[in-house]
Amino acid sequence: MIKPHGSDSLNPLYVDDAQQRSALQAEAENLPSILLNSAAAANAVMLGGGYFNPLTGYMNLADALSTSEKMQTVDGLFFPVPVVNLTDETGIEAGSRIALRDPNVDGNPVLAIMDVEAVEQVSDEQMTFMAEKIFRTLDEKHPGVATFTGLGRTLLSGPIQVLNFSYFQADFPDTFRTAVEIREEIAEHGWEKVVAFQTRNPMHRAHEELCRMAMEQLDADGILIHMLLGKLKPGDIPADVRDASIRKMVEVYFPPNTVMVTGYGFDMLYAGPREAVLHAVFRQNCGCTHLIVGRDHAGVGDYYGGFDAQTIFDEEVPEGALELEIFKADHTAYSKKLNKVVMMKDAPDHDKDDFVLLSGTAVREMLGKGIAPPPEFSRPEVAKILSDYYQALDAKAS
C-alpha cells in the first residue's frame, strides 16, 4: 500500500488505548482549559485520525508562515496549509499543559490535551500575509478568508493527545472514518490502486460517471467517495442529506464491493488550489493512490480559475512531495448526441446546447417544487432524497 505522507507508517494522535485515554480524561478535569473555535477543533479531529500525518500537533508561527508562503515547514516538510490553534484566550503560558474543549458538542467536553510549547502573538500583517497566500484573496466575502481572519491573534503551538472525535462518530456512525480505518478497510478489500473522490455536495450523474471514468481509465480496484462532514457555508446541503443521497446512488448504480462511502471531520476552507493539495495529503494518508481533481475543486464563487486546482500540482508542488497522483477531470455532462456522460473536453464537436446543463439555482427550484431534474442530470432515487429535503426546507420557511 502507498506510504502515508512524510513517514513510513501512519501516526494518528488519537489515544487508542482505553486505559490511557481514561487516565488522560481524568487528568484533563484538573487542567486549565480553553474553548477551541470550530476550526481548531476540526484540526484536532484530523490530527487524531491521522489525516494530518506526520504532524504531531499544532504548528508554531514560523511554520504557519512558512507553509502559507511556500507549502513547507521551516524544517522542509511539505505541507500545503498551516494547521494552527488560533484563539483569543489569555493567560496561557508556554510550558503549560492544558485541556482543549470542544465548541461543537453540548457541555464542551475535553477534545484533546495539549502541551503548549509556545504562545505567540500574530500581527495583523502576518494574518493578512497568510490569508492572501492560502486563499489568493483578502475579500471578506470569501467564507474561508472571513473565518480565518476571525479566529484570533494568539497562536498556541505544541503536541496534542486526542481523546475523541467530537460529534462525528455519534452523528455519522456509518460514515465517519479515520485515515487509519480507511487504510485498514482498503487492505481488507485487497485493493492496491484506489481512486478518491472528494465531495461536499450530493453527487449527480456527472459525478457518478466521473468516478466510473477514473476507475476504468486507471484500472483501479476501487473508489473512495470521501465526503466532508464538518461545517460549510450557509446554503450548502447538510451532511446527513448528502450522505443518504450518495449511499443510495452507490447502492443502485455501482457493483458491490467497488466503492467505499466514507466521511471525515473537517470544516471546509474553500481555499481552492491550496485545499486541493490538502485533499491530496488526506487521501495519501488514507491509502489512496489517486485523487480526482475537477473544475474549480474546493473553490467558491469566482475566486479561482476553472483549472487552478490542477495546475498547482504542476507548477507549485515539488516533484516527489507526494506519492499520490492526480486524475485531472474536465467539466462533465450528459451528451445528447452521444447519449452518455462525457468530459466536455472530449467532445470538441459539441455546442453548449448539445449537453444537459442545469444551474444549481435551477435544480434547487425544481427540487423545491417536487419536480425531478431530467434523469440525464440526476438519478431519480437521488433526486427524491434531495427533493424531500428542499420541500421540507421551503415548508419550514413559509
Per residue in 350-397, pLDDT tens?
A: 998 889 888 777 888 888 888 888 888 999 999 999 999 988 887 787
Q: Give yes or no: residues 120 and 216 share one domain.
A: no
Report d(CA 161, CA 21) in Å as an integer. Answer: 9
Per the domain annotation, does 386 fall within a domain? yes
Query: Is 295 among the catalytic positions?
Result: no
Instruction: Supply the pLDDT for residue 393.
Output: 82
Per the domain annotation, does 9 fall within a domain? no
Per the structure block, which three cell numbers stand in for 89?
484566550
Q: How far is CA 270 from CA 108, 139, 398, in A?
A: 27, 13, 31
Question: pLDDT tens digits, the chain, 398 residues: what are they?
Answer: 999 999 999 999 999 999 999 999 999 999 999 999 999 999 999 999 999 999 999 999 999 999 999 999 999 999 999 999 999 998 999 999 999 999 999 999 999 999 999 999 999 999 999 999 999 999 999 999 999 999 999 999 999 999 999 999 999 999 999 999 999 999 999 999 999 999 988 898 999 999 999 999 999 999 999 999 988 777 788 889 999 999 999 999 999 999 999 999 999 999 999 999 999 999 999 999 999 999 889 999 999 999 999 999 999 999 999 999 999 998 888 899 899 889 888 888 999 888 988 877 788 888 888 888 888 899 999 999 999 998 888 778 76
Q: Give yes or no: residues 249 and 133 share one domain.
A: no
Q: Give yes or no: residues 45 and 155 share one domain.
A: yes
Per the domain annotation, does 78 fall within a domain? yes
Q: Give yes or no: residues 179 and 159 share one domain.
A: no
Strands 57-58 and 154-162: antiparallel
Give bridge partners of residue 157 from the DSSP assignment.
118
Q: Give the count of domains, the chain.
A: 2
Degrees, nearest 5: CA angle 5-9-15:
105
Query: Is 30 among the catalytic positions?
Result: no
Q: Give yes or no: residues 245 and 272 share one domain.
A: yes
Q: Give yes or no: residues 28 and 133 share one domain.
A: yes
Pick the catalytic residue from 21, 153, 200, 364.
200
Pick the catalytic residue from 11, 153, 201, 212.
201
Q: Give yes or no: residues 187 and 65 share one domain.
A: no
Q: Give yes or no: residues 264 and 360 share one domain.
A: yes
Q: Give yes or no: residues 263 and 353 share one domain.
A: yes
CATH classification of the domain holding 145: 3.10.400.10
Q: Give yes or no: residues 160 and 251 share one domain.
A: no
Domain that holds residue 234: 174-397
**Which segments within 71-153 are labelled E, that is strand?**
85-87, 97-101, 110-115, 118-121
Report d(CA 55, CA 5) in Å as an integer. Answer: 10
Q: Give yes or no: residues 152 and 211 share one domain.
A: no
